[in-house]
Structure 1
Amino acid sequence: MLAIFSSQNAYATEQSQALTWGYVNFAPYHYNDKGNVTGFIADHIKSIFKDSNLSFSAVELPNKRTKLYIENGKVDFSTVIESFISNPSDFLKSDLPVYHIILGAVCLKDTHEIKHIDDLKKTRLILLSGYTYGTDKQLDEKNGFNIELSAQNHDSAILALKYKRADCVLGYKSPTDVEKEKHPNLNLTFYKINEFPVYLFLNKKVVNATVIMDTINQHISPTHSPLAQ
């Protein structure tokens, strides 16, 4: 599950290989297609690195271990929301987000009143394994949430909804839109809860990390970053 995009890197001459981007299978943002990372955010990352004259390889990470891989320096950089990083002092964060993401609940019917996370306490809920959802609050029974199960991705979560395992899934808009197209008869409704910027985090242990991040920052344009989806 490795895709390599090569170019000459004028700023990291001491590096023996390309930087490693650790990503999760998260269609349509970034996902594995026959061994290559693809998706509209993957394309955006490729464009930033090409403009920065940098190279990288992309490695798909398992959801449950993604946080461990990133924070233990198993990959050089990642694109995540700020709350996902528990040890921010170990990383350089891009000045601007590389994109924005919309959090919400996708439910089988449109009769729910959902505007906040706490509104989901009234539902039987499916969570996505390994996701922080931009909150410090533990989404568990102790805090009043009725968690029916954890799913590996939006696809398996929606299948669980289909078989009435729960009422709603806490997930993200663009992946939900993909599932809506796959299951037009389910009458899925998405309720927006929040919106988060997603930044590029570069591990400080990377050779020439500061120079590399400065270069990346020069090529992240607020006018060319994808809109929240």
Structure 2
Amino acid sequence: MRSCQRYSTDLPRGACALTGLFVVLVGLFYTALVHADDQDPYSMKAVRVAYVEFPPITYRTAEGEPAGEFVEITKKVAAEAGYELEFIYLPVARTYLYLRDGTVDLWLGLSATPVLKEAVLESWISPIPVELSAWYRQDTEPLEHMDQLHGSMVILIGGYTYGGLRDWLEDQPDIRITEAPNHRSAVDMLKRKRGDYLLDYRQPVREILTHPSDAIIRESEVRSRNSAWMFSLASSRASILREAFDDAYLRLAERGEVPPVRRFEKTFVLPRFPEQYR
């Protein structure tokens, strides 16, 4: 093996050592640069998106593909912002867990969800309004104020927190709670008189009221809420992603490619709705 010492007359020993040191430093710098690029949030373009069964806003098709109005808007926004999406279909409870531990980067969800207060960063943009309703049979009194729920049986969807309202309902000694696994089952339970009222969101329930026997179902609005992108604070990219998505939506709205920008206005609530959950 040749060495620098053999050619000492052509290259001084000190210069040889400096040359070797320079090569080592260049290698270290390149390795650090590559590693930094891997960790740079701006270069990480894949985004893991949780979505739940909430038709027609978000749902999974028979082919296993994500679909719905919010899904389509999110695809447009991500493309405009330069991100690639990986959709993950989850139950609601698992979605909350994955947001807390950073398994997913964001959820196509609802703003002001109490159990996620310390776990997510909400978008400033709200693409779609969402209404919570009380559903009942035509032989039942319309729900005109929350006090009417006392002494009744209320059907809830498993895993839903209803913006914290579930906690209030469960704390009431004279309100009985029963659960349904999904929207269709909940409506069927209501028709079979296994509950007096069903608390569920307007869009998914109206989507499934297609059976002739569903004609006996009526609706009273309980409160309105705002959809939002919920970015996991367990991810170092949370604020970067929120800014990118909000800015992309504004550009698309200016071009008329998504619905106009909505302001987070004061939402409607039924009289006597619990103050702490408004």
Superposed displacement of residue 155, structure 1: 0.9
User: 1:6 — aligned with what?
Assistant: none
Q: Does structure 1 residue 29 correspond to structure 2 residue 68?
A: no
- How far the C-alpha of 1:50 sits from its partner, in A, is 1.9
Conserved 8 A contact 2:136-2:198: yes
Q: Quick one: which amino acid aligns to residue 27 of structure 1? A: P
Deviation of 1:94 after TM superposition, in Å, equals 0.8
Match 1:145 to one of 164, 167, 175:
175
Deviations 1:8-45 (A, max 9, x none): xxx95532x62111111111111111111011221121
Matched, 1:123 2:136: no
Do 1:99 and 1:225's aligned partners in 2 also have CA atoms closer than 8 Å?
A: no
Quick one: which amino acid aligns to residue 136 of structure 2? C
- TM-aligned CA deviation for residue 58 of structure 1: 0.9
Counterpart residue number, 2:82: 53
| CA shift digits 1:105-151 (9 cap, x unpaired) | 1111264131344432243211111111123543226443121x211
Matching of residue 155 in structure 1 with residue 184 in structure 2:
yes
CA contact (8 A) 1:104 1:170 kept: yes
Residue by residue over 1:167-222, the C-alpha shift from the partner in whole angstroms, topping out at 9 and shown as x without a partner, is 22100111111222234544110110100112111123435433322111112347
Mapped partners of 2:234, 2:82: distance in 1 = 20
Please tell me whether residue 80 in structure 1 is matched to residue 109 in structure 2: yes
Residue 21 of structure 2 corresponds to none
- TM-score (ref. length: structure 1): 0.82
Which residue is equivalent to 2:71?
A: 42
Larger radius of gyration: 2
Q: Which residue of 1 aligns with 2:259?
A: 224
| Partner residue, 2:131 | 102
Structure 2: gaps (5+ residues)? 1-39, 268-278
Contact 2:183 2:205 in 1 (8 A): yes
| Residue number among 97, 112, 117 corresponding to 1:68 in the alignment | 97
Stretches of structure 1 that go unaligned for 5 or more consecutive residues are 1-10
* Structure 2 counterpart of 1:224, one-letter code: P
> For residue 82 of structure 2, what is the amino acid of its counterpart?
N
Structure-2 change in CA distance of 1:24 and 1:38 (3 Å): same
CA distance in 2, matches of 1:185, 1:142: 30
State the shift of 1:89 in Å: 4.2
Q: Following the alignment from structure 1 to structure 2, what is the Cα–Cα distance between the partners of residues 122 and 31? A: 34
Distance 1:181 1:210 in 2: 42
Pair 1:176-2:238 in alignment: no
> Does the C-alpha gap of structure 1 residues 87 and 108 become closer, same or farther in structure 2, counting only changes over 3 Å?
closer
Which protein, 1 or 2, shows the higher relative CO under an 8 Å CA cutoff with sep ≥ 6? 1
- Separation of aligned partners in 1, 2:64 and 2:216: 33
- Out of 43, 47, 52, the position equivalent to 1:19 is 47
Q: Secondary structure at the match of 1:181?
A: coil
Query: Could you tell me whether the CA contact under 8 Å between 2:122 and 2:230 is conserved in 1?
Result: yes
The CA RMSD over aligned residues, in Å, is 2.7
**How much has 1:46 moved relative to structure 2?**
1.4
Q: Which residue of 2 aligns with 1:198?
A: 227
| Distance in 1 separating the partners of 2:135 and 2:153 | 12
Range moving further from structure 2, 60-69 or 30-39: 60-69
Conserved 8 A contact 2:155-2:195: yes
User: Between Structure 1 and Structure 2, which shows a larger proportion of helix residues?
Assistant: 2
